[in-house]
Structure 1
């Protein structure tokens, strides 16, 4: 029994999530195809969680199609106790065979959940397992998600409420779930506590991720800290404007870093590399509610932006959750995802802090957890079109002058900081470097 969830995640979790490539429409065949590549190309580098995102419980009339349309009607499938269950259109055998395939490959299986209880289960007034209470006794019909119409919240002041969450977690454990991404839950800390308590009672080890990355309650931090990771941003896509948002949120969360328990991580959202939006060949375009952004494409970030994207997540000790369709992902993306120095910095598990900035540049430093005057730094050119010069000064960085700087991307020694080092960076690029005593 996991009395301490944090013991399961001594370093930021790493894995794959289906949302960026399949929205709410992932199916068993596509999942297995991604699992094969995951086991071959990411697992050897420490990626361990294979996560099915939203929609696995939605029943559509597929009419011979692999994927429904974004606006097709659907029903939520649930069992006799009001708990969501896999829909046969996507997972005809349920998800346990997929979990078994993950475990056979040495991979851990994860699943997405929405806060609360299905509205359809409330309409049917299903019983709460092991109690005399029913769905209408525990549902809080005024507590709804603004972007997903599937569920009502659960009123944690009512008898039977905790028992419902206990039964949900027990069912997921029976399927072999090792990781849960619980969505729409950050705005309701009482339901965060209910989920954590249910996991703590469960005989299976389960890692808990909280979403979305906005709506944090000022009195909710102690609840969020009970989870293994929680989002700090909204959805992040292959758009440099989203990168700007991550920088802003990283800085806003800096005062929180000292309060984070070891094993609880600030989540900068998924990595939208490789092939995205596989389900959406020709439209609609733009933001699609619950189903991502845009049509099928390869990641639109350029090489410099990808380097900055990964350096941010390494320096920020963010969970690394790849989102693209792995069978079609390019080698450049795999090289960044599995770069030894990126992973070493990330596994160090220390959230970097901003040490120098101008209107167009940021420099962040992440110290090594146990080795003095050793660690990593990232000097970012935040400008979209202009080259920038960044000065690395030992005093400003808080380092001794006898500090060596090693360029990770170029794999070469740059200088010792006896005198300030000037670095020229192209638009949206980053100097990602190791530092150590000379």
Structure 2
């Protein structure tokens, strides 16, 4: 009995030591103090899809400076899918040597030399959506490579993820990024299927709420097994999600299609609404060749200030009448942004009596009460002051367009 007891004790001690020695607790929490306002930058996918190379990325970085976009606040230069080459003999991912002959470190260094930040793309599955090597099973190796290159932003997609659970998969890449040690903004691109807004705030800095956008104001593009969504369709899908957004954790209705073929009025409405709902502003056009009208939308600092407001409260739809929607967004220092969005195909008249309308936002508890406070009213697209809230606001809103006002005390 004594020998057996000693053997059992030794075995228990052995197992205990073994388990303690392998009790590695991973850090599944994102890097803090990043993306405290919605990220602003550029991504290659909407315009170029898989047609990416280092020459394009360098030219876009240059154009970010010369176009005034950097001065307006755009920071990230993000390469989407198809930059990948093969993995080396140890499993480390390499860039496509034909498209990126100088390597990713040199490209990141170039972007950084412009005072910008550098982003790449991967996928939680075995392959990316474009058929390149995914990160499944290689998460920690990939994170090490990204850190060695100087990556600042990672868009992480959800193709070819058979059998994976989204929350666990994204926690794995978060742990890998934390282990690699370089602070990275993590963009969760899970398409909203597994309600990432419920678990994403501690794991990533932004999460896609829908499937892919495409450059149509009010359409659905059916691909058979999946759909692309127009601007208005994606806007509608944000309903009920505003409580999950705030500094460091944002609902992402997908990248901007401004400058990709819609008329200027629809581009303006698109940009207005993404600003109102505190969406990340990741442009997807060819900023090397954009028109003056497109540049004027993307660099309107008064509109950008609505998006980048430090309070970080997502706007909400207040009312709808005859396809004319009224949206409000509480801002810091008691200010408000007010948008009249015309979804119809005809010009609509708008009249808003500030004195007759007292509004309290249930989420932020902010109050818009023109009876007790007089606000100055600024039309930020027209770039002119239009009186105060002592008088009702009256105007017209063209078809598929928006009027954006900012109320200041």
TM-score normalised per structure 1: 0.75
2:18 is the alignment partner of 1:9: no
**Distance (whole Å) between structure 1 residues aligned to residue 135 and residue 38 of structure 2:** 29
The 5 Å alignment of 1:282-297 reads none
The 5 Å alignment of 1:28-427 reads 28-40=54-66, 41-58=68-85, 77-118=86-127, 148-150=130-132, 154=136, 164-184=138-158, 188-215=166-193, 217-218=194-195, 221-223=198-200, 225-241=202-218, 242-250=230-238, 252=239, 254=240, 256-274=241-259, 299-348=260-309, 349-369=312-332, 371-372=333-334, 374-383=335-344, 385-394=345-354, 395-396=356-357, 398=359, 399-401=368-370, 402-418=374-390, 420-427=392-399
**Distance (whole Å) between structure 2 residues aligned to residue 208 and residue 411 of structure 1:** 35
Report the alpha carbon displacement of residue 2 of structure 1 after superposing the two structures with TM.
11
Kindly report the root-mean-square deviation, in angstroms, between the aligned alpha carbons of the 2 structures.
Answer: 2.5
Report the alpha carbon displacement of residue 260 of structure 1 after superposing the two structures with TM.
3.3
Provide closer, same or farther for how the CA distance between residues 366 and 177 of structure 1 changes in structure 2, counting only shifts above 3 A.
same
Report the alpha carbon displacement of residue 393 of structure 1 after superposing the two structures with TM.
3.4
Report the alpha carbon displacement of residue 397 of structure 1 after superposing the two structures with TM.
5.8
Report the alpha carbon displacement of residue 380 of structure 1 after superposing the two structures with TM.
0.4
SS state at 1:85 partner: strand
Asked if 2 retains the 8 angstrom alpha-carbon contact of 1:392 and 1:420, the reply is yes
Provide closer, same or farther for how the CA distance between residues 149 and 359 of structure 1 changes in structure 2, counting only shifts above 3 A.
farther
Report the alpha carbon displacement of residue 167 of structure 1 after superposing the two structures with TM.
1.9
Provide closer, same or farther for how the CA distance between residues 261 and 32 of structure 1 changes in structure 2, counting only shifts above 3 A.
same
Bigger-Rg structure (1/2):
2
SS state at 2:64 partner: helix
Report the alpha carbon displacement of residue 434 of structure 1 after superposing the two structures with TM.
0.6
Output one character per residue of 1:365-395: Cα deviation in whole Å (capped at 9) or x when no partner: 11113x12x1211110011x21122332335
Provide closer, same or farther for how the CA distance between residues 198 and 152 of structure 1 changes in structure 2, counting only shifts above 3 A.
closer
Output one character per residue of 1:218-246: Cα deviation in whole Å (capped at 9) or x when no partner: 48722454211111232223211211112
For 2:8, the equivalent position in structure 1 comes to: none
Report the alpha carbon displacement of residue 38 of structure 1 after superposing the two structures with TM.
1.2
SS state at 1:334 partner: helix
**Distance (whole Å) between structure 1 residues aligned to residue 134 and residue 147 of structure 2:** 23
**Distance (whole Å) between structure 2 residues aligned to residue 18 and residue 87 of structure 1:** 16
2:406 is the alignment partner of 1:434: yes
Residue segments in structure 2 that go unaligned for 5+ positions in a row: 1-26, 219-229, 360-367
Provide closer, same or farther for how the CA distance between residues 301 and 166 of structure 1 changes in structure 2, counting only shifts above 3 A.
same
Asked if 2 retains the 8 angstrom alpha-carbon contact of 1:115 and 1:151, the reply is no
**Distance (whole Å) between structure 1 residues aligned to residue 44 and residue 150 of structure 2:** 18
Provide closer, same or farther for how the CA distance between residues 103 and 237 of structure 1 changes in structure 2, counting only shifts above 3 A.
same
SS state at 1:10 partner: coil
Provide closer, same or farther for how the CA distance between residues 261 and 343 of structure 1 changes in structure 2, counting only shifts above 3 A.
closer
Provide closer, same or farther for how the CA distance between residues 109 and 397 of structure 1 changes in structure 2, counting only shifts above 3 A.
farther
**Distance (whole Å) between structure 2 residues aligned to residue 81 and residue 220 of structure 1:** 36
**Distance (whole Å) between structure 1 residues aligned to residue 28 and residue 178 of structure 2:** 5
**Distance (whole Å) between structure 2 residues aligned to residue 4 and residue 368 of structure 1:** 26
**Distance (whole Å) between structure 2 residues aligned to residue 47 and residue 389 of structure 1:** 34
Output one character per residue of 1:125-173: Cα deviation in whole Å (capped at 9) or x when no partner: xxxxxxxxxxxxxxxxxxxx8x55556784xxxxxx5xx4222111111
Report the alpha carbon displacement of residue 311 of structure 1 after superposing the two structures with TM.
0.7
Asked if 1 retains the 8 angstrom alpha-carbon contact of 2:246 and 2:313, the reply is no
Report the alpha carbon displacement of residue 91 of structure 1 after superposing the two structures with TM.
0.8
Report the alpha carbon displacement of residue 3 of structure 1 after superposing the two structures with TM.
6.6
Provide closer, same or farther for how the CA distance between residues 90 and 258 of structure 1 changes in structure 2, counting only shifts above 3 A.
same
For 2:19, the equivalent position in structure 1 comes to: none
Report the alpha carbon displacement of residue 350 of structure 1 after superposing the two structures with TM.
2.1
**Distance (whole Å) between structure 1 residues aligned to residue 69 and residue 28 of structure 2:** 26
Asked if 2 retains the 8 angstrom alpha-carbon contact of 1:361 and 1:381, the reply is yes
Asked if 1 retains the 8 angstrom alpha-carbon contact of 2:166 and 2:190, the reply is no
**Distance (whole Å) between structure 2 residues aligned to residue 183 and residue 224 of structure 1:** 17
